Structure 1
Amino acid sequence: MGVERVQDIATSTFMDTIPAEFIRSENEQPGITTVPGTVLECPTIDFSDPDEEKLLAQIFAASTGWGMYQIVNHDISNEAIAKLQAVGKEFFELPQEEKEVYAKDPNSKSVEGYGTFLQKELEGKKGWVDHLFHRIWPPSAINYRFWPKNPASYREANEDYAKNLHKVVEKLFKFLSLGLGLEAQDLKKAVGGDDLVYLLKINYYPPCPRPDLALGVVAHTDMSALTILVPNNVQGLQACRDGQWYDVKYIPNALVIHIGDQMEIMSNGKYKAVLHRTTVSKDETRISWPVFLEPPQDLEIGPHPKLVNDKENLPKYKTKKYCEYVYNKLNKIPQ
């Protein structure tokens, strides 16, 4: 098969040890660095609140002060979310050779496909996670070669979820724009408008004999403009707050919103991309379904022109093509 998958390692590990490449340094090990006994309650926002001024204020405060929040009553049915979760879980429970059919081409620049390693890590360390990437919107960006044919309802569940996600995305971009004093459509236009890419990732974190030593995904901010995430009910998401790492409270059927790098750049630093990471469980499998809202690869992103000038509001970030930004970040090249 060529690449050893974490799922295989997990099922073949019967002792209380893990391979050395999964053991983090002491300043990263969750057993040492997690604040014990405290669950971080990041802002929870009722997305159905008819008071738009209140909703705007809540989203602005959470985006500037936290970079992460959870939205409830978002009009995506529990059934649609449950179907998305069920077909993703079923895919990762297939025999290994069936999953490998969707493996990403090692020579491709695209992240799409089934895989294990995504970016360069210092000292060759690895995350305790396998993943599947594919675009779910717009139709012109979809490559069905990476959409599993088994389970049979995989495509229907993902297309239904993508369709339901549109209203949430439109509403978020509207309030984020208005919060900066922009027109309702300004940020959405700046990030690609109708060509905005919805990139789904399924993260599969199998049980780990030493969850105190390993991380699923290392500390990072998302490269996207926004990330909308659905987790399963296994604790794992952590956020950094005042230099400390905390577990983030799980709320059933909530959508977790992350401000990403491109949103921070477009807002000229007003909105803050959240530093987060993922821990793993000794006994349970954690799965998450983030959708990264990304500009088209060749679109140039920089501070929004209406938010900068040559006097008191100088641009704090360089303007560059999104593909260049991604390449630099994945390869640890200063931006």
Structure 2
Amino acid sequence: MAEVQSVQVLAASLGAIPPEFVRSEHEQPGATTFRGGAAPEVPVIDMSEAGCGARMAEAAREWGLFQVVNHGVPAEAVAELQRVGLDFFALPQEEKERYAMDPASGRIEGYGSKLQRDLEGKKTWVDFFFHNVAPPPMVNHDIWPKNPVGYREANEEYCRHMQRLTRELFGHLSVGLGLEKGAMREAFGGDDLVLLQKINFYPPCPQPELTLGVAPHTDMSTFTILVPNEVQGLQIFKDGHWYDAKYVPNALIIHIGDQIEILSNGRYKAVLHRTTVNKEKTRMSWPVFVEPSREHVVGPHPQLVTDETPAKYKAKKYKDYQYCKINKLPQ
């Protein structure tokens, strides 16, 4: 059983954060969050309304992120997903560590933390648990916890709703590019698309203005569908500023990822985002990353490449893209 250096455990014994969690001044949220009056608000799109697809396409071009309501995912399914996630992180540390990641043995799914240092020697204030939920050949139920009761059922039920919603989102975003409704989903592998379910756990932090839960990044996925709890934390970078993405009850947050930016030949933008933490409250989020299979080749869609708009990106296998991004290599 691998031992996990847990922020959750560390947070319980601290009055101040250790120096390795203190971000450089240009990244500290207390100094860099926009506070200059009325801030632009992330688009909130009602999926029951006519024209919602056009609004999604506009948001994907201008923001790289939007929130959806009336999305058809039952509130009960979301609540049960959140319940089992919260109950997992309430388990004794020894029990959580039964599901620890162990990359040395090839086990990259599971329970872990971001207590490794980044390029600036800094750490982030988050623990997590993740595993694939689709397609069936990619799912390893040995990694799914037996406790809390109902964990598997909650995740499988939520996954079914995510697969339906994923198809709808791809359809709207395809049409927004002038493509056939099924073009984007097909270009990313159709039924072979991988859905990775993650739980992010950000415990209370004594000095939240100095640190981050997740450092600035864009998602490698096609897009990410995220449900947060009510504690504010997600921020996006737009027009040279960091803005809070306000919590909207019952909304799901859609992040445009790198693969859609590539497929759209830059028409849609992957959103640069980060996560802040709270002094008194635990923040949690449940993102689902929708990804091509590792061997799948992604490049600009042929219908979006012309003499006037040449390809801005190279086509490559998703696993090669992951390797380059993780290792900060030229794309």
Q: How far apart are residue 111 of structure 1 and its match?
A: 3.8
How many matched pairs? 329
Do the aligned residues in 2 keep the contact of 1:120 with 1:330 (CA within 8 Å)? no
Do the aligned residues in 1 keep the contact of 2:61 with 2:267 (CA within 8 Å)? yes
The match for 2:284 is 287
2:6 equivalent to 1:9: no
The match for 2:176 is 179
Do the aligned residues in 2 keep the contact of 1:120 with 1:332 (CA within 8 Å)? no
Query: Which of 36, 54, 62 is the aligned partner of 2:59?
Result: 62
2:215 equivalent to 1:218: yes
Deviates more, 1:281-290 or 1:102-111: 102-111
The code of the aligned residue for 1:10 comes to A
The match for 2:312 is 316
Do the aligned residues in 1 keep the contact of 2:234 with 2:274 (CA within 8 Å)? yes
| SS of match in other structure, 1:183 | coil
| SS of match in other structure, 2:12 | helix
Alignment of 1:1-335 (within 5 A): 2-13=3-14, 15=15, 17-36=16-35, 40-49=40-49, 51=50, 54-107=51-104, 111-117=108-114, 121-309=118-306, 311-335=307-331
The runs of 5 or more residues in structure 2 that have no matched partner are: none
Alpha-carbon distance in structure 1 between the residues aligned to 2:66 and 2:222: 15
Do the aligned residues in 1 keep the contact of 2:227 with 2:253 (CA within 8 Å)? yes
| SS of match in other structure, 1:277 | strand
Q: How far apart are residue 313 of structure 1 and its match?
A: 1.8
The runs of 5 or more residues in structure 1 that have no matched partner are: none
Alpha-carbon distance in structure 1 between the residues aligned to 2:6 and 2:197: 20
Alpha-carbon distance in structure 1 between the residues aligned to 2:251 and 2:289: 16
| SS of match in other structure, 2:73 | coil
Q: How far apart are residue 20 of structure 1 and its match?
A: 1.1
**CA distance change for structure 1 residues 92 and 74 in 2, over 3 Å: closer, same or farther?**
same
**CA distance change for structure 1 residues 197 and 212 in 2, over 3 Å: closer, same or farther?**
same
What is the CA deviation profile of residues 185-222 of structure 1, one whole-angstrom value per residue up to 9, with x for unaligned ones? 11101111000011111100000000000100001110
Question: TM-score, normalization: structure 1?
Answer: 0.95
The code of the aligned residue for 2:310 comes to L
Do the aligned residues in 2 keep the contact of 1:6 with 1:128 (CA within 8 Å)? yes
**CA distance change for structure 1 residues 280 and 38 in 2, over 3 Å: closer, same or farther?**
farther
| SS of match in other structure, 2:242 | strand
Alpha-carbon distance in structure 1 between the residues aligned to 2:267 and 2:151: 38
Runs of 4+ deviating beyond 6 Å: none
**CA distance change for structure 1 residues 110 and 312 in 2, over 3 Å: closer, same or farther?**
farther
Q: How far apart are residue 152 of structure 1 and its match?
A: 1.3
**CA distance change for structure 1 residues 109 and 42 in 2, over 3 Å: closer, same or farther?**
farther
**CA distance change for structure 1 residues 120 and 314 in 2, over 3 Å: closer, same or farther?**
farther
**CA distance change for structure 1 residues 202 and 138 in 2, over 3 Å: closer, same or farther?**
same
Alpha-carbon distance in structure 1 between the residues aligned to 2:251 and 2:73: 10
What is the CA deviation profile of residues 84-111 of structure 1, one whole-angstrom value per residue up to 9, with x for unaligned ones? 0000010011000100011111315664
What is the CA deviation profile of residues 243-266 of structure 1, one whole-angstrom value per residue up to 9, with x for unaligned ones? 111111101110000000000000
The code of the aligned residue for 2:46 comes to D
Do the aligned residues in 2 keep the contact of 1:222 with 1:261 (CA within 8 Å)? yes
Alpha-carbon distance in structure 1 between the residues aligned to 2:200 and 2:17: 20
Question: TM-score, normalization: structure 2?
Answer: 0.96
| SS of match in other structure, 1:35 | coil
Do the aligned residues in 2 keep the contact of 1:229 with 1:288 (CA within 8 Å)? yes
Query: C-alpha root-mean-square deviation of aligned residues, in Å?
Result: 1.5
**CA distance change for structure 1 residues 226 and 144 in 2, over 3 Å: closer, same or farther?**
same
Q: How far apart are residue 3 of structure 1 and its match?
A: 3.7
| SS of match in other structure, 1:107 | helix
| SS of match in other structure, 2:99 | coil
Alpha-carbon distance in structure 2 between the residues aligned to 1:136 and 1:108: 21
